[in-house]
Chains A and B, each alone.
Chain A
Amino acid sequence: MVKVTFIDFAGGAHPVEVPAGTTLMRAATDNRVPGIDGDCGGNCACATCHVYVDPEWSHRVGARTAMEEEMLNLVAEPHENSRLACQITLTDALNGLVVNTPEAQH
């Protein structure tokens, strides 16, 4: 199991545990974590699973894909550490990951 924590815009923590291999988007939507919509079901096609990755984890999470880069043009308040949660697969190496969710998905 991989443990991840979503911090919402108001600062509340939502820890969840999911099997390795789950995407970060599914980790949220399967556990009804507020602030992640995932309208397209994980196709990198709607930009409604926008998260900010805690800088300490950036190198382990890896880089954006080309398509993700384009879709991040659609979000409000994109930052350097912006990612789409559907493009991050949770492995044991990401156990303990912390991400912040934005004020709202666009």
Chain B
Amino acid sequence: MNAIAFRESADIRTAARARVAALPLEELNPSDPQEFVDDTVGYMFERLRREDPVHRSHSPIPGIDTYWSVTRYRDIMQVDTTHGIYSSENGITLMDFPPDDEQKLKMFIAMDPPKHDEQRKTVNSIVAPANLNNWQDLIRERTAKVLDSLPRNETFNWVDLVSIELTTYMLATLFDFPLADRRLLTHWSDMATANKLTNPDAPEPEVRMAELRKMLEYFTRLWNERINAPPRTDLVSMLAHGSATRNMGPMEFMGNLVLLIVGGNDTTRNSMTGGLLAMYENPLEMAKLRANPALVESLVPEIIRWQTPLAYMRRTALVDTELAGKQIKKGDKLAMWYLSGNRDETAIPQPNRFIVDRERPRQHLSFGFGIHRCVGNRLAELQLKILWEEILRRFEVIEVVGAPTRIRSAFVRGFSHLPVRIPG
């Protein structure tokens, strides 16, 4: 990696470790997006897991304010699997909106049973094993095409040419969305997760909502086409014909579109980038994989653990309760920090090492646990598996030639830029 860029990021990390160690415990705020830009939030989590694993955290950002940080693997598992106490109805991110504010999107990930279960079932079958088998060849063909078209001996942005391109292609296929317009999906995904309060560079809320309304308009056209045709196996047709979803109002349709677009886009995109970076930073692991390509099976879940592309999910307490000795009051919000649980040495051996042949690589929190567990997890794994198989087949080395640029968000943990170069 570019020596100067690398040294700079190492300096930031050393300084961050000292700063976090010196802060009074009550001032630790892992939702500070700057910690994610600098990739330093891990020091905060290390300290919280050790000293105060269920922590009363305060954010200066209005709408986030006070929340509980749940940082240990086991406590996260408990919250995630107790949906009768820890509800999703107030949303899955820490930001609160006034009631009836249209920015608070209605989507099934932010619902409790029974409505959650009914809507989720509608889309479940698109990622069923039989369907995944059908897609394998198509995914491989596209992945090969994208990799074969990459420039040689020049620096390019892996995020744009590979991660975004492949995930957006897949998403367009799931929706049976016009392929020529596929980058609109990327754009809407970025709009959906944009937040002016946590990122000054993000668009104003009105601009964001206007863009999302354009998305709704576009998809309403597709919906109208498909509602008048026999049911097919794309997501729009499934929603239009599904008994639990066909009567959704426009804002609920918008919310569920955002859920499917962000869920199928931002997450795998960032695992595709994070995986490449991790492999470059761990040459011995890369050598293991080259010597035994069958390790792709355990490499993929390890990448997903390592990246943890969604750093947390929020829950809201429905009643007064207790968690790890702390009194949680009805209405309190909690962040289940998957990123922290995935580095908890009491649950995962040597969690700060990236190991391609871990004994139990699938035991990680990145997909969540319980009834809201990621619906697309197998598809995500399939996409990553094919990507790595095709990389191994083609390239001896992909050099990371500079420091990555990380996204200013404590929720989507990802990258906007990773400069790489393929010799040859």
Which A residues contact B (CB, under 8 angstroms)? 37-41, 43-48, 67, 70-71, 73-74, 76-77, 102-104, 106
Contacts and interface: CB of A to CB of B under 8 A. Distances in A.
Contact of A40 (B77, B132, B375): B77
Contacts of A74: 120, 124, 371, 373, 375
A60 B200 CA distance: 61
22 contacts: A37-B362, A41-B360, A43-B81, A45-B77, A45-B81, A45-B370, A45-B373, A46-B367, A46-B373, A48-B362, A70-B117, A73-B120, A74-B120, A74-B124, A74-B373, A74-B375, A76-B124, A76-B129, A104-B129, A104-B132, A104-B378, A106-B128
B130 interface: yes
Interface in B350-400: 360, 362-363, 367, 369-371, 373, 375, 377-378
Contacts of A102: 129
Nearest to A44: B81
A45 to B, nearest CB: 4
A96 B179 CA distance: 53
Contact of B81 (A37, A67, A76, A103): A67
Nearest to B375: A74
A44 B130 CA distance: 24
A14 to B, nearest CB: 19
B121 interface: yes
Contacts of A46: 367, 369, 373
B94 to A, nearest CB: 23
Given A76-B125, A103-B130, 5 more contacts: A44-B81, A45-B77, A46-B369, A73-B117, A73-B371
Contacts of B165: none
B294 to A, nearest CB: 14
Contacts of A73: 117, 120-121, 371
Contacts of A76: 124-125, 128-130
Contacts of B130: 76, 103
A93 B371 CA distance: 31
Interface string B122-136: 001101111010000
Contacts of B132: 104
Nearest to A41: B363
A45 B369 contact: yes
Contact of B127 (A40, A43, A106): A106
Contacts of A39: 362-363, 367
Contact of A106 (B117, B129, B370): B129
Contacts of B120: 73-74
A105 B345 CA distance: 27
A40 B367 CA distance: 10
Contacts of A38: 362
Nearest to A76: B128
B113 interface: yes
B80 interface: yes
Contacts of B124: 74, 76, 106
A45 B129 contact: no
A41 B348 CA distance: 12
Contacts of B363: 39-41
Contacts of B80: 45
A77 B128 CA distance: 8
Contacts of B121: 73
Interface string B307-319: 0000000000000
B172 to A, nearest CB: 23
Contacts of A40: 77, 363, 369
Contacts of B367: 39, 46
Given A40-B363, A41-B363, A76-B124, A106 B378 contact: yes
A103 B377 CA distance: 16
B298 to A, nearest CB: 12
Contacts of B375: 74
Contacts of B378: 104, 106
B117 A43 contact: no
A78 to B, nearest CB: 10
Interface in B100-145: 113, 117, 120-121, 124-125, 127-130, 132
A79 B367 CA distance: 25
B233 to A, nearest CB: 14
Closest 4 CB pairs of A and B: A104-B129, A45-B369, A76-B128, A39-B362
A76 B131 CA distance: 11
Contacts of A47: 373
A38 B360 CA distance: 10
Nearest to B129: A104
A96 B367 CA distance: 35
Given A104-B378, A106-B378, A70 B113 contact: yes
Contacts of A41: 360, 363
A103 B378 CA distance: 13
